[in-house]
Amino acid sequence: MKRILIVLAALFMFAFCGCSKKDAEIAANVDEVIEAAQNSDEQSANEGEIDEGFETDNSVESEGLTACFATIEEGQQLMRERTLFHEQISKETLPFFIQSRKGSLEDYIEYSAEQVMEFTPADEKRVKDTLSWLQEQLDNNGLQLPDIGPITFVKTSCEEALGSAGYTSEGTVFLGWFTFTSEYYTDEMFKELVVHELFHCLSRLNPDFRQEMYSIIHFNILDHDIDIPDEISRQIIANPDVEHHNSYATFTIDGEKKDCYLVFLTDSIFKKPGDTFFNGMYSGIVPLDGSKVYRIEEVDDFWEIVGHNTDYAEDPEEVMATDFAYAITRLDTGYEEFENPEILEKIIAVLKKN
């Protein structure tokens, strides 16, 4: 089971967090991920013993960024309250999440709550150190984030998310246990993950910031959710970081300009435990009238509009979260490795303006 979970974690990292070419090379060796995970429990225990001087507290302030660490009971309640995400899960995709054709959404919600885990002192220290680094990065470069308030962190097995490294709900960040205990998750990768997830919280809690960020990749935000046809919505892969489908961009398709929204779909059908929707997943570009689903290769100017710093362009929210993380974590080393560095530069310009 652990091997399956870690392989899925690698897939989910690319699907929902994106990756640069450099990151893809790091993650190519799945066996290395698995070997690190096999020793994770022992490593976690050792980390807790070594850092005896670090006192566990439910709240840690890091010069402006405040982290709250949920207890198991608090985390379970937060897990059950992910209403907007739960409403997105179709009856066609629910079996992938519960790995069974039997069972209800309520069963999945309770199963999710059971995945919450307790933070160790070493876990909390890693989050605290990352937030301290982030605040220093912002201060040293004259950058400012929109107000986000205290950030609640929840540790989970992430089996409820088929091995996703992290995801969010409101101002809460859920992180998989393996991001704390696996040698595969270097400090650099953990920083990128946390900044990526913080973007989702910033975007969700600050509508003006979301609009400004989305406009960098030419997306406009509507004041209402798009009416998605049933035959499309039942194929959507529910993503807790994408609570609304209410944005669109203008793409060129068959030489004609069309206002379209972007959704992450699967044409996989669950048949037996172990099946995933990854084999059949694809990005769908859909005109606002819902008349047809186009794939990326059918859109003449898709990458020109969205930018191509990552291949995983399943939703503008995820594209921008990935670019946002790159912009901040690569600020000191430069953006030469990226195909569209101007996107990252525009993100920094917005943060300087704020």
Cα–Cα dist 96/115, whole Å? 17
Choose the weakest-confidence range: 31-45, 79-93, 117-131.
Answer: 31-45
Q: What is the pTM of this model?
A: 0.85
Question: Is there a contact between 270 and 95 (Cβ–Cβ < 8 Å)?
Answer: yes
For residues 167 and 19, membership in a common domain is answered with yes
Among 205, 233, 248, the domain boundary falls at: 205
Number of domains forming the structure of the chain: 2
For residues 196 and 235, membership in a common domain is answered with no
For residues 181 and 70, membership in a common domain is answered with yes
Give the pLDDT confidence score for residue 59 in this predicted structure.
53
For residues 50 and 137, membership in a common domain is answered with yes
Give the pLDDT confidence score for residue 189 in this predicted structure.
95
Residue 64 pLDDT greater than 60, yes or no: yes
Cα–Cα dist 284/14, whole Å? 17
Give the pLDDT confidence score for residue 278 in this predicted structure.
83
Cα–Cα dist 209/206, whole Å? 5
Handedness of CA 51, 57, 62, 65 (dihedral sign): positive
pLDDT (tens digit per residue) in 235-253: 999 999 999 999 999 999 9
For residues 91 and 226, membership in a common domain is answered with no
Residue 341, phi then psi, degrees to nearest 5? -65, -20
pLDDT, mean of residues 37-50: 42
For residues 188 and 265, membership in a common domain is answered with no
**Residues 131, 187, 167: CA angle, nearest 5 degrees:** 65
Among 205, 237, 260, the domain boundary falls at: 205
Cα–Cα dist 245/261, whole Å? 8
Residue 137 pLDDT greater than 80, yes or no: yes
For residues 13 and 125, membership in a common domain is answered with yes
Structural domain span for residue 303 = 210-353
Give the pLDDT confidence score for residue 350 in this predicted structure.
97
For residues 267 and 152, membership in a common domain is answered with no
For residues 49 and 183, membership in a common domain is answered with yes
Residue 279, phi then psi, degrees to nearest 5? -60, -30
Residue 55 pLDDT greater than 70, yes or no: no
For residues 319 and 300, membership in a common domain is answered with yes
For residues 30 and 171, membership in a common domain is answered with yes
pLDDT (tens digit per residue) in 277-317: 888 999 999 999 999 999 999 999 999 999 999 998 999 99
pLDDT, mean of residues 154-162: 94
Residue 11 pLDDT greater than 70, yes or no: no
Give the pLDDT confidence score for residue 44 in this predicted structure.
40
The residue behind tokens 């595969």 is 184
User: Average model confidence (pLDDT) for the chain?
Assistant: 86
pLDDT, mean of residues 342-349: 98
**Residues 92, 98, 104: CA angle, nearest 5 degrees:** 70
For residues 162 and 88, membership in a common domain is answered with yes
pLDDT (tens digit per residue) in 251-285: 999 999 999 999 999 999 999 998 998 889 999 99
Among 205, 240, 261, the domain boundary falls at: 205
Question: Is there a contact between 145 and 138 (Cβ–Cβ < 8 Å)?
Answer: yes
Residue 29 pLDDT greater than 80, yes or no: no
Copy the structure tokens of residue 188.
């650099």
Beta-carbon count within 10 A of 79 CB: 23
